[in-house]
Amino acid sequence: MNIGITLVVQLIAFAIFVWLTMQYIWPLLLRAMEERRAKIADGLAAAERGKKALADAAAEREQTLAQVRGQAQEILGNANRQAGQIIAAARDAARSEGDRIVEAARAQVDHEIDQAREALRKRVGELAVAGAQAILQSEVDARAHGRVLDELAEQL
């Protein structure tokens, strides 16, 4: 093992190489890595912000949905109440109309019964007159006896 000028050459080369690395290599590499680190950190922070915004939006949606659901419930309640009222009103109207119709029919029936009874009475009078004629064998002057006959008819 001979130690000599080779060592000196290596020593000088070592110094130059280290200087070159320090000057032209290390800072560039470190800066690139640092920039990437910063970029990744920014990206993660942005993702975090996005996640938070999403959670906020979901909460807001939930709130709005609850509110809307309440409103719908209210509207539905109102509608039900209103429908009930309308049905009740209609039922009342129908019932009164029915009553009225029944009343009218009953009045008409009474009227017709009265008419029939009147006609019948008249007829019975006439029959009674005819029967009396037949019994008396004579013509009964309708005019002369009309008053009697009418009285008779009244009594029937």
Partner 1 sequence: MAPEGAHDSGSYVLHHLSNLTLNLQTMRIDEHAQGFWALHLDSTFFSLLLGALFLWLFRRVAVRASIDRPGKLQNAIEIMVEFVDKQTRDLFHQDNKLVAPLALTIFAWVFLMNLMDLIPVDLLPFVAERGLGLPALRVVPSTDVNITFGLSIGVFFLTLAFAMKYKGPVGYLKESLLHPFFVRRGPLIALNLVLVPFNLILRVVEELARPVSLSLRLFGNLFAGELIFVLLAILLAQILSGPAGAVLAAVGILFNIAWAFFHLLVITIQAVVFMVLTVVYLSLASEHH
Summarize as ranges the residues that interact with partner 1 (CB under 8 A): 1-11, 13-15, 17-18, 20-22, 24-26, 28-30, 32-33, 35-36, 39
Whose Cβ is closer to partner 1: residue 27's or residue 84's? 27
Q: Would you state the structure tokens that stand for residue 10, as one six-digit string?
A: 């290596």
CA 99 to chain CA centroid, Å, is: 34
CA atoms within 13 Å, Cβ hemisphere of 19? 6
Q: How far is the CB of 40 from partner 1 (least distance, A)?
A: 10
- The residue whose two tokens read 């309308």 is 86
Q: How far is the CB of 20 from partner 1 (least distance, A)?
A: 6
Cα 58 from Cα 81, distance rounded (Å): 34
Whose Cβ is closer to partner 1: residue 47's or residue 53's? 47
CA 124 to chain CA centroid, Å, is: 69
Whose Cβ is closer to partner 1: residue 20's or residue 127's? 20
Q: How far is the CB of 62 from partner 1 (least distance, A)?
A: 38
